[in-house]
């Protein structure tokens, strides 16, 4: 606020070394009615944000008369003729809230210019008077302007004050306690004895009403501040709790990239809450920050320790895998297909147990390990392919031999069949392996012929063995004697009409006769 706005009744004007009440020259642009018409904001920072009239308005401002001191009668004094002022038409000042203050709806002026003018008059000497409940009071002198112009100037000042009061009334529900006090202090100073013409007593009554409303607003603001502090405390505690939860996770199960971003996000939330939210008391905020900082430090320590241990494990894993690659390379030219295949299988199990390095190195090591094995397996596959071809050829040959052997069946002369089979068996042994899936087929066919010859040889031997023949003859004699005895018993049983005994003896005789037929 300019000096004129702070105390518009005591602005000295020097001309010829003596004070006068009439202006001798146009005042600075910020003292013009247009400049003064912009209402002040009550918030401490608001004056920096306050919108002011345009430069063009300041340049065209009229000369401003010097208002008289309050409660002092005007003392006419000779003044040099000033330039004729150009008084703009009275209008209400633009009501623009400072930046950062919520937009509000401001009530319309309580009086227009004509109505406000009814509270003042201009005497013959150019003195401007305002009527108040306490009586008339001189507010200034405008000697070289028409009464209408002089009165219009001071009416405009009243309208400016009215605009400030209306703006304060609209903004009061949005102000904090400090802003309420500063706004009311400013308004009370301005309406105490302003150099203006209008319903000043009404303005003072409205300011007094604002004081009562301001007291209630301060109570409400205090409650809002406490609620905001409580919410801010809960928000900070939640941030700290989340940070501590992240910091206390098992390092072996932590997703470090994701968790690190979460810690950074929490720090951003802390700063945003500190910047935008209400201030907490220092001990509480320091204690919470100490916990939050400790959680961040713990997280960083765990991360460094984890990656340090991981680096050591990866180096150990890399050294082990380099050794496995060397061993795989040494075996790559082996032709012991079976044992070397098993050895490579064991190497693969050792590789899996060796752990991992970083992805890039691990992929490169794996390529080298596979390349060393591939030399061996390519050679083995080539050998197997050649062996498969040879076995197919052997299968054809053995099937031909099976057909030759099967031509000896049925066996009528075991000795001749054995002689014919022997060269077939010799050729069989010289051929070698056949495919595994055809082995049972050809082996079974050849075994069937061999078994038939062997059975024929045994049967022939049993039939021509003298000892066996003698044993058979003695047994046959015994059976024949037993049959004769049974015939006598059967005859006697029939004579005695013992049918049961006859049946039993005949059954026994049939069994012995079958036995005799077998060995005969």
Name which residue leads in pLDDT, 229 or 56.
Answer: 229
Name which residue leads in pLDDT, 462 or 426.
Answer: 426
- The answer on pLDDT for 21 being more than 70 is no
- The answer on pLDDT for 93 being more than 80 is no
Residue spans of alpha helices (H) in 354-465 = 359-406, 414-431, 436-464
In the predicted model, what is the mean pLDDT of residues 30-59?
33
* Terminal alpha carbon distance of the chain: 152
DSSP 139: E
Nearest to 37 by CA among 15, 58, 11: 58
In the predicted model, what is the mean pLDDT of residues 338-343?
90
CA distances, 352 to each of 27, 317, 345, 358, 417 (Å) = 92, 10, 11, 15, 61
Task: Tell the residue number behind the tokens 């498969």, with chain if given.
Answer: 388
How confident is the model at residue 41, as a pLDDT? 33
State the pairing for strand pair 135-141/13-15. unpaired
- The answer on pLDDT for 271 being more than 90 is yes
In the predicted model, what is the mean pLDDT of residues 322-351?
89
How confident is the model at residue 132, as a pLDDT? 92
How confident is the model at residue 159, as a pLDDT? 92
What does residue 120 show for φ and ψ, rounded to 5 degrees? -140, 170
Write b or e for each residue in 463-501: b if 16 or more Cβ atoms lie within 10 A of its Cβ, otherwise e.
Answer: eeeeeeeeeeeeeeeebeebeeebeebbeebeeeeeeee
- Kindly report the number of other CB atoms within 10 A of residue 257's CB atom: 8
pLDDT digits (tens, 9 = 90+) for 97-156: 444 445 556 566 666 778 877 888 888 888 899 999 999 999 998 777 888 888 889 899
Task: Tell the residue number behind the tokens 């005789």, with chain if given.
Answer: 509
- The answer on pLDDT for 263 being more than 60 is yes
Query: Which pair of tokens denotes residue 36?
Result: 């003064």
Strand partners, 120: 130
Name which residue leads in pLDDT, 101 or 188.
Answer: 188
Alpha-carbon span 148 to 87, nearest angstrom? 9
How confident is the model at residue 13, as a pLDDT? 33
Query: Which pair of tokens denotes residue 251?
Result: 């390092």
Instruction: Considering only CA atoms, give the Rg of the chain.
Output: 63
In the predicted model, what is the mean pLDDT of residues 432-447?
90
Tell me the range of 211-220, 221-230, 254-263, 456-465 where mean pLDDT is highest. 254-263
Alpha-carbon span 7 to 124, nearest angstrom? 26
Could you tell me how far CA 76 lies from the centroid of its own chain?
A: 82
- Percent of the chain exceeding pLDDT 70 equals 76
Nearest to 83 by CA among 153, 151, 15, 23: 23
Cβ atoms of 229 and 278 within 8 Å: the answer is yes
pLDDT digits (tens, 9 = 90+) for 289-330: 999 999 999 999 999 999 998 899 989 999 998 998 999 999
In the predicted model, what is the mean pLDDT of residues 326-344?
89
Name which residue leads in pLDDT, 278 or 76.
Answer: 278
Query: Which pair of tokens denotes residue 454?
Result: 């062997």
- The answer on pLDDT for 250 being more than 90 is yes
- The answer on pLDDT for 86 being more than 70 is no
Where is average pLDDT lowest: 86-95, 187-196, 505-514?
86-95
In the predicted model, what is the mean pLDDT of residues 276-293?
92
Nearest to 27 by CA among 66, 68, 79, 74: 66
pLDDT digits (tens, 9 = 90+) for 364-398: 999 998 998 888 889 888 877 888 888 888 989 88
Average predicted confidence (pLDDT) for the chain: 77
In the predicted model, what is the mean pLDDT of residues 188-203?
91
CA distances, 8 to each of 39, 97, 152, 457 (Å) = 15, 23, 16, 151
Alpha-carbon span 450 to 442, nearest angstrom? 13
How confident is the model at residue 22, as a pLDDT? 34
Name which residue leads in pLDDT, 185 or 482.
Answer: 185
Alpha-carbon span 333 to 317, nearest angstrom? 26
Where is average pLDDT lowest: 81-95, 398-412, 492-506?
81-95
- The answer on pLDDT for 92 being more than 60 is no
3-state helix, strand, coil in the chain (%, to 5): 70, 5, 30
How confident is the model at residue 457, as a pLDDT? 85
In the predicted model, what is the mean pLDDT of residues 510-514?
83
What does residue 409 show for φ and ψ, rounded to 5 degrees? -85, 150
pLDDT band at residue 408 under the 50/70/90 scheme: confident
In the predicted model, what is the mean pLDDT of residues 22-40?
33
DSSP 23: -
pTM greater than the 0.75 cutoff:
no
Strand partners, 128: 122, 140
In the predicted model, what is the mean pLDDT of residues 355-363?
88
How confident is the model at residue 256, as a pLDDT? 93
């Amino acid at each position: 606020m300019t000096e004129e706005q702070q105390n518009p009744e005591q602005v000295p004007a020097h001309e010829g070394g003596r004070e006068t009440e009439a202006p001798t020259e146009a005042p600075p642009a910020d003292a013009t009615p247009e400049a003064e018409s912009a209402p002040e904001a009550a918030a401490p920072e608001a004056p920096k944000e306050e919108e002011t009239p345009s430069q063009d308005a300041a340049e065209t401002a009229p000369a401003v008369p010097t208002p008289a001191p309050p409660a002092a009668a005007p003392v006419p004094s000779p003044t040099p003729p000033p330039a004729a002022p150009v008084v703009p038409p009275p209008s209400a000042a633009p009501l623009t809230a400072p930046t950062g203050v919520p937009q509000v709806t401001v009530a319309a002026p309580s009086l227009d210019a004509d109505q406000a003018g009814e509270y003042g008059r201009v005497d013959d000497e150019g003195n401007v008077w305002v009527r108040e409940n306490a009586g008339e009071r001189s507010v200034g002198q405008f000697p070289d302007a028409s009464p209408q112009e002089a009165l219009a100037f001071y009416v405009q000042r009243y309208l400016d004050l009215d605009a400030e009061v209306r703006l304060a009334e609209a903004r009061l529900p949005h102000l904090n306690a400090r802003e309420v006090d500063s706004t009311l202090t400013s308004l009370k100073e301005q309406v105490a004895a302003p150099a203006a013409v209008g319903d000043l007593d009404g303005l003072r009554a409205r300011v007094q009403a604002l004081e009562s409303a301001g007291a209630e607003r301060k109570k409400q603001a205090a409650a809002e501040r406490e609620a905001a502090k409580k919410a801010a405390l809960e928000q900070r505690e939640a941030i700290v709790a989340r940070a501590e939860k992240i910091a206390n996770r098992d390092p072996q199960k932590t997703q470090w990239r994701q968790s690190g971003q979460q810690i950074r996000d929490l720090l951003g939330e802390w700063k945003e809450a500190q910047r935008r939210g209400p201030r907490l008391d220092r001990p509480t905020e320091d204690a919470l920050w100490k916990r939050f900082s400790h959680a961040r430090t713990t997280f960083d320590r765990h991360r460094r320790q984890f990656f340090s241990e991981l680096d050591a494990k990866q180096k150990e894993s890399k050294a082990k895998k380099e050794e496995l690659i060397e061993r795989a390379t040494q075996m790559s030219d082996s032709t012991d297909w079976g044992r070397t295949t098993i050895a490579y299988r064991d190497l693969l199990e050792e590789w899996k147990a060796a752990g991992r390095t970083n992805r890039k190195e691990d992929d490169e090591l794996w390529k080298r390990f596979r390349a060393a094995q591939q030399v061996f397996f390519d050679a083995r596959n080539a050998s197997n392919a050649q062996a498969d071809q040879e076995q197919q050829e052997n299968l054809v040959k053995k099937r031909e031999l099976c057909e030759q052997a099967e031509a000896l069946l049925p066996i009528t002369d075991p000795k001749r069949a054995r002689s014919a089979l022997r060269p077939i068996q010799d050729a069989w042994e010289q051929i070698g392996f056949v495919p595994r899936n055809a082995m049972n087929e050809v082996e079974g066919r050849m075994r069937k012929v061999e078994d038939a010859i062997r059975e024929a040889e045994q049967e022939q031997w049993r039939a021509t063995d003298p000892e066996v023949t003698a044993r058979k003859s003695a047994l046959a004699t015994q059976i024949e004697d037993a049959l004769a005895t049974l015939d006598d018993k059967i005859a006697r049983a029939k004579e005695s009409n013992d049918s049961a005994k006859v049946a039993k003896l005949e059954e026994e005789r049939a069994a012995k006769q079958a036995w005799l037929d077998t060995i005969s």
